[in-house]
A and B are shown apart, each in its own frame.
Chain A
Amino acid sequence: MNRTELKQEIDQRWPGQAQCPPDSGSPCEVTCARATLPELCGRLFLEWNFSFAGLIVEEGASEWQLRYTFYGEGDAGWVHVLVTAPLAEKTFPSIVKFVHAADWHEREAEDLYGLVFEGHPRLGDFILHDDAWQEGVEPMRHKFDPQMAMAHRKPDEDWRPTRIVQEPGAFVMPVGPKYSGVTESVHFLLESVGEDVIRSTPRLFYKWRAIEKLAEGKTADEVLLLAERFAATTAFAHGLAYCQAVESICGVNLPPRAKTLRVFLAELERLRQHAGAIQEICESTALAVANAHAGICEEELLRISCELTGHRYLFGLLALGGLQCDLSDDACRKALEKSQTVLAKLNELEKRLRVSSSFLDRLEEVGIVPERTAMVYGLLGPIARASGVVRDLRRAQPYLGYENFQFDVPGEQEGDGYARLRILFAETRQSVRIMEQAVAALQSGSVREPFQLRAGAALGWVEAPRGGAFHWVRLDGNGKVARYRIVPPSFANWHGFHLAVEKFAFQDFPIMLSTFDLSVAENDR
């Protein structure tokens, strides 16, 4: 559906209720009455094949602005549905009935802004844990001062989470926040009547660092440090999404060399992150030899990154308007050659794993997410693609000139752990393929374009290793960040994680967790 068709449809269906501007650049900002909102978003999401990118709440001087962002393939472009209301009116209709992917976004806005979403099935205890925070604290409101003393009370040791399964003999098995060996902090409530997990409720935000609040009032350059460091296993992708948002506000034309180098580094990071994810899967199935081989691959890729850029996780490379320093063609070529060697090892590993029956038994038909569910939950990245939702931002809404690169977007249908593993392996091959083209296409010239910051707002998007990452930035006239909203891929994927776990045995739980390749740091921000 292109822009003209969209305008026709909207004008016909909701005359006077929703306005779609004539074709004028991207994104298409549809203003809409509160009552029409759920139906309009529902049509976009369920019928017109748009994906939900995120809900962005902004507190203006006198009114709320809620921005529901959607994207489609190619011509369909970006659609932002805007709803406004005076600050005193804090009630909005929930769109969850039609767009289930927005579930957690509304819970977050309720927790941090105190908005009410009518019709939402479950609000409350989410980012601000009920056992530690007083009611009525709204940390994202302008009137909340992040410097002031903590507004919450002492942890309530008697607090107990909601139990859903009430059958006789049912019990809750709490896991975390500290569990297992070297793991991120997250809490799971696994409800069971014996062997199988019936309900699984991940309790997140133990690591909430309030990045969005910290960013407010900082300079654009300082916020880049936060964008790179809040989820460092995919630091480059998030830094990139932030830079693209700022650059798009200021209308910067990047030098071609900077673009190509950014593509090269983004793919190097994807390759490294996927190798790490493969290692975790091998580890969770207790296949020690494969674990060692995958661990070697990951460490070698970390060393390649460090040799090329000085940092194992690609920190300190991005700058607004390009890159902080140039990388020589020779160094890139050398990094590519080494990456190709690692890829050969990964290919060999995949060949071995595919005939290891003890390994396959633990992955096949385990943690199944059907295509329809993956779509409704708005899952992203390799996880969605393993369930048949084959959408990749590099292809759907290209950035950095990805349209000029030859690559495939691998897809699978089964939606089980094994399909997710195959996607990871297939994507490592595509990443190296893109890196090869990037090195061949390296132009000469500068890597940084000087520019002036100006007021405005824009969305930056990147296909991060774990899926689409969306960064919304609003700059004020002084070059300071007025609003920074991060929608990381793990936020969407954690939302759907319980689908995979339920109705499976306890011992499969760590395996499903590893095949989902979830980052808590990314989700918790």
Chain B
Amino acid sequence: MSQWVINGIRTGIKTTAYPAKPEAAVGVSPGLPVGGDCSPSQAASLIESCPAGVFSQANGKVMADIRRCIHCYRCVRGIEHPVNWEQTYEWGTVRDGQHEFGQPFERSIHICVVDAGDCGACLNEAKQLNNPYYNMHRLGFFITPTPRHADVLLVVGPVTDHMKFALKKVYDAMPTPKRVVAVGACALSGGVFAESFVCAKGVADVLPVDVEVPGNPAPPLAILHGLLVATGRKAPAAWARSNTVKA
């Protein structure tokens, strides 16, 4: 029994200082491609390399719609002019730029997580938020199994047909005011699965989405940032204004 305590003390504090300070540890994020100045031929090769349709070209610049990025690294590996790749993690954005989140979401919130056809990675990353490295309880975020107690609905996966009905029921069961956070490339654009006869192209097809967190999967710090954006405690990602092309 006492050995548990001794081990605990020996382990020390592992929790990240984020959001008070940036997290500097390596391996917390897979990073994302960013756009920038680019010759037309380089831009063409980038556009051709990407199976997810992330890149587009305009006015001597290549732009990256990172909502679609599936981390296949084909724009950085085995290509002559690789794209700029940034190891950031503050990826949460507000979907239509209009939301005032306001008071109901300023303090402790309860989150209901629904898997709508996820491959397991985004879900596993959301699970990591409870491990000592991220410990989201310190920020007043709690996971609740029941939609009746939830303020925020966190959805992962492209919304398969069999889950559509359940997802709507969960949303309807939540008290208002409520917010929807869509996490991962599949939840934003359908990813590699959509659009098909069994799969919608993202949560926005089914529910009104407030905050979007890209990534395949979105790393824990990005999900945390998305939740902080949803509660109005952090500004949405800067690239949302400068770098994204409208889908």
A235 touches B30 (CB 8 A): no
| A113 part of interface (Cβ distance < 8 Å) | no
What interface size band does chain A fall in? Answer: 35 or more
Question: Which residue from A155, A181, A303 sits with its C-beta under 8 Å from B28?
Answer: A303
The CA-CA distance from A348 to B132 in the complex, in Å, is 18
B212 contacts across to A, CB distance below 8 A: none
B115 touches A183 (CB 8 A): yes
B25 touches A296 (CB 8 A): no
A206 touches B160 (CB 8 A): yes
Stretch at the interface among B37-45, B73-81, B101-109, B237-245: B73-81
Expressed in whole angstroms, the minimum distance between the Cβ of B144 and any Cβ of chain A is: 8
The CA-CA distance from A146 to B166 in the complex, in Å, is 23
B197 touches A139 (CB 8 A): yes
Give A135-159 interface residues, CB cut-off 8 Å to B.
139, 146-152, 155
The CA-CA distance from A312 to B27 in the complex, in Å, is 7
| B98 part of interface (Cβ distance < 8 Å) | no
Known: A231-B120, A233-B124. A150 touches B161 (CB 8 A): yes
Known: A139-B197, A292-B131, A307-B26. A184 touches B120 (CB 8 A): yes
B115 contacts across to A, CB distance below 8 A: 178, 183-185, 207, 520
Query: Per-position contact with A for B109-140: 1 when CB-CB < 8 Å, else 0?
Result: 00011111111110111111011111000000
| A311 part of interface (Cβ distance < 8 Å) | yes
The CA-CA distance from A363 to B62 in the complex, in Å, is 56
B14 contacts across to A, CB distance below 8 A: 296
- Nearest A residue to B85 via CB reads A310
A185 touches B198 (CB 8 A): no
Known: A182-B127, A184-B120, A304-B27. A148 touches B3 (CB 8 A): no
Give A189-241 interface residues, CB cut-off 8 Å to B.
205-211, 213-214, 222, 225-226, 229-233, 235
The CA-CA distance from A101 to B177 in the complex, in Å, is 49
Give B4-56 interface residues, CB cut-off 8 Å to A.
4, 7-8, 11, 14, 25-31, 51
A182 touches B126 (CB 8 A): yes
Question: Which residue from A293, A315, A519 sits with its C-beta under 8 Å from B7?
Answer: A293
| A328 part of interface (Cβ distance < 8 Å) | no
B192 touches A316 (CB 8 A): no
Expressed in whole angstroms, the minimum distance between the Cβ of B77 and any Cβ of chain A is: 4
Give B215-230 interface residues, CB cut-off 8 Å to A.
216-217, 219
- Nearest B residue to A177 via CB reads B166
B196 touches A209 (CB 8 A): yes
Size of B's binding interface in residues, CB under 8 A? 65
Known: A230-B119, A306-B27. A148 touches B197 (CB 8 A): yes
Known: A182-B126, A302-B128, A325-B77. A209 touches B145 (CB 8 A): no
A303 touches B26 (CB 8 A): yes
Expressed in whole angstroms, the minimum distance between the Cβ of A209 and any Cβ of chain B is: 5
The CA-CA distance from A35 to B217 in the complex, in Å, is 49
Question: Which residue from A152, A233, A279, A348 sits with its C-beta under 8 Å from B121?
Answer: A233
| A276 part of interface (Cβ distance < 8 Å) | yes
| A13 part of interface (Cβ distance < 8 Å) | no
B8 touches A289 (CB 8 A): yes
A132 touches B192 (CB 8 A): no
- Nearest B residue to A203 via CB reads B162
A305 contacts across to B, CB distance below 8 A: 27
A225 touches B118 (CB 8 A): no
Question: Which residue from A155, A279, A325 sits with its C-beta under 8 Å from B165?
Answer: A155
Known: A292-B132, A296-B11, A306-B26. A225 touches B70 (CB 8 A): yes
A207 touches B157 (CB 8 A): yes
Expressed in whole angstroms, the minimum distance between the Cβ of B210 and any Cβ of chain A is: 20
From A155, A209, A232, residue with most partner B Cβ within 10 Å: A209
The CA-CA distance from A155 to B157 in the complex, in Å, is 20
B26 touches A207 (CB 8 A): no
The CA-CA distance from A402 to B151 in the complex, in Å, is 50
A209 touches B7 (CB 8 A): no
| A298 part of interface (Cβ distance < 8 Å) | yes
Expressed in whole angstroms, the minimum distance between the Cβ of A273 and any Cβ of chain B is: 10
| A521 part of interface (Cβ distance < 8 Å) | yes
- Nearest A residue to B127 via CB reads A182
A210 contacts across to B, CB distance below 8 A: 196-199
Question: Which residue from B3, B4, B133, B192 sits with its C-beta under 8 Å from A225?
Answer: B192
The CA-CA distance from A376 to B236 in the complex, in Å, is 54
The CA-CA distance from A117 to B141 in the complex, in Å, is 51
B162 touches A313 (CB 8 A): no
The CA-CA distance from A289 to B1 in the complex, in Å, is 11
The CA-CA distance from A213 to B199 in the complex, in Å, is 12
A232 touches B145 (CB 8 A): no
* 28 CB < 8 A contacts A-B: A146-B196, A149-B197, A150-B161, A150-B198, A178-B114, A184-B115, A184-B123, A185-B114, A205-B162, A206-B163, A209-B193, A211-B193, A214-B196, A225-B72, A229-B191, A229-B216, A232-B217, A233-B119, A295-B130, A303-B26, A303-B27, A305-B27, A306-B27, A310-B30, A316-B71, A316-B73, A316-B74, A324-B73
* Top 7 closest pairs, chain A to chain B, by CB: A303-B27, A295-B131, A232-B121, A306-B27, A316-B73, A232-B119, A521-B120
By a beta-carbon cutoff of 8 Å, the part of chain B in contact with chain A is 3-4, 7-8, 11, 14, 25-31, 51, 70-74, 77-78, 112-121, 123-128, 130-134, 143-145, 147, 157-158, 160-163, 165-166, 170, 191-193, 196-199, 216-217, 219
Known A179-B145, A230-B119; 12 more pairs at CB < 8 Å: A178-B115, A185-B115, A185-B117, A229-B216, A231-B120, A232-B124, A289-B4, A293-B11, A295-B128, A313-B121, A315-B30, A317-B73
